[in-house]
Chain A
Amino acid sequence: MIDVKNLSKSFGNHLVLDNLNQHIYPGEKVVVLGPSGSGKSTFLRCLNLLETPTSGIITFDGTDITDPKCDIDQVRQHMGMVFQHFNLFPNMTIRKNITLAPVRTKRMSQQEADDTATQLLRRVGLEEKADAYPAQLSGGQKQRIAIVRALAMRPKVMLFDEPTSALDPEMVGEVLDVMKQLADDGMTMVVVTHEMGFAREVGSRVLFMDGGHILEENKPQEFFANPKHPRTIEFLSKVL
Chain B
Amino acid sequence: MGIDQLYEAWSAIPAGDLTFWQDAYVKFYNAWFYQDRWMTYFKGLGTTIQVTVIALILGVVLGLLVATVCTAHDQQRRGHRNPLLGLANLICRIYVTVIRGTPMMVQLMIMGYVVFASSREKTMVAALALGINSGAYVAEIIRGGLMNLDPGQMEAGRSLGLGYVDTMRFIVIPQAFKAILPALGNEFIVLLKDTSLISVVAGKEIVYFAQAIITKTYEPMYPYLITAAMYLVLVLIFSWLQGKLERRLRQSDRR
Interface on A for B, CB 8 Å cutoff?
48, 50, 52, 68, 73-81, 83, 85, 87-92, 100-101, 104-105, 133-136, 149-150, 153
Whether A76 contacts B159 by the Cβ 8 Å rule is yes
A-B contacts, 9 of them at CB < 8 A, read A73-B162, A77-B161, A83-B156, A87-B152, A89-B153, A91-B171, A100-B160, A101-B160, A133-B253
Whether B156 contacts A91 by the Cβ 8 Å rule is no
Closest beta carbon of chain B to A56's beta carbon, Å? 14
Complexed CA–CA distance, A16 and B2 (Å): 87
B159-184 vs A, CB cutoff 8 Å, 1 = contact: the mask equals 11111001000110011001000000
Complexed CA–CA distance, A114 and B152 (Å): 25
Please tell me if B255 contacts chain A, counting CB pairs below 8 Å: yes
Closest beta carbon of chain A to B151's beta carbon, Å? 9
Complexed CA–CA distance, A153 and B162 (Å): 11
Q: Which residues of A contact B166 (CB under 8 A)?
A: 104
B54-97 vs A, CB cutoff 8 Å, 1 = contact: the mask equals 00000000000000000000000111100000000000000000
Q: Across the two chains, which residue of chain B brings its CB closest to A78?
A: B161
Whether B255 contacts A100 by the Cβ 8 Å rule is no
Complexed CA–CA distance, A153 and B254 (Å): 28
B212-255 vs A, CB cutoff 8 Å, 1 = contact: the mask equals 00000000000000000000000000000000000000011111
**Given known contacts A52-B79, A133-B254, is B152 in contact with A77 (CB within 8 Å)?**
no
Q: Across the two chains, which residue of chain A brings its CB closest to B161?
A: A77
Whether B160 contacts A149 by the Cβ 8 Å rule is yes
Q: List 5 additional A-B contacts (Cβ < 8 Å) besides A83-B159, A91-B178.
A: A83-B155, A85-B152, A100-B170, A105-B161, A135-B255
**Given known contacts A87-B150, A87-B152, A135-B255, is B158 in contact with A50 (CB within 8 Å)?**
yes
From A76, A85, A134, contact of B161 by CB (8 A) = A76
Q: Across the two chains, which residue of chain A brings its CB closest to B178?
A: A91
Closest beta carbon of chain B to A65's beta carbon, Å? 13
Closest beta carbon of chain B to A98's beta carbon, Å? 10
Q: Across the two chains, which residue of chain A brings its CB closest to B156?
A: A87
Tell me the total A-B contact number using a CB cutoff of 8 A.
Answer: 85
Whether A50 contacts B162 by the Cβ 8 Å rule is no
Q: Across the two chains, which residue of chain A brings its CB closest to B164?
A: A73
Q: Which residues of A contact B77 (CB under 8 A)?
A: 52
Closest beta carbon of chain B to A166's beta carbon, Å? 11
Whether A153 contacts B161 by the Cβ 8 Å rule is yes
Q: Which residues of A contact B159 (CB under 8 A)?
A: 48, 50, 76, 79-81, 83, 150
Q: Which residues of B contact A100 (CB under 8 A)?
A: 160, 162, 170
Q: Which residues of B contact A78 (CB under 8 A)?
A: 161
Count residues of chain B with CB under 8 A from any CB of chain A. 27
Whether A68 contacts B255 by the Cβ 8 Å rule is no
Q: Across the two chains, which residue of chain A brings its CB closest to B249?
A: A91
Q: Which residues of A contact B79 (CB under 8 A)?
A: 52, 68
Q: Which residues of B contact A77 (CB under 8 A)?
A: 160-161
**Given known contacts A50-B158, A104-B162, A153-B160, is B152 in contact with A83 (CB within 8 Å)?**
yes
Whether A135 contacts B161 by the Cβ 8 Å rule is no
Complexed CA–CA distance, A43 and B157 (Å): 20
From B155, B156, B161, B170, contact of A73 by CB (8 A) = B161
**Given known contacts A68-B80, A83-B152, is B252 in contact with A90 (CB within 8 Å)?**
yes
Q: Across the two chains, which residue of chain A brings its CB closest to B155?
A: A50
Whether A87 contacts B163 by the Cβ 8 Å rule is no
Which of B78, B156, B170: most chain A CB closer than 10 A? B156
Q: Which residues of A contact B150 (CB under 8 A)?
A: 85, 87
Whether B252 contacts A101 by the Cβ 8 Å rule is no
Q: Across the two chains, which residue of chain B brings its CB closest to A102?
A: B160
Q: Which residues of A contact B155 (CB under 8 A)?
A: 50, 83, 87
Q: Which residues of A contact B251 (CB under 8 A)?
A: 133
Whether B78 contacts A52 by the Cβ 8 Å rule is yes
Closest beta carbon of chain B to A139's beta carbon, Å? 14
Q: Across the two chains, which residue of chain A brings its CB closest to B159?
A: A81
Complexed CA–CA distance, A135 and B252 (Å): 7
Whether B158 contacts A76 by the Cβ 8 Å rule is yes
Q: Which of B110-156 contact A (CB under 8 A)?
A: 150, 152-153, 155-156
Q: Which residues of B contact A105 (CB under 8 A)?
A: 160-162
Q: Across the two chains, which residue of chain A brings its CB closest to B152?
A: A87
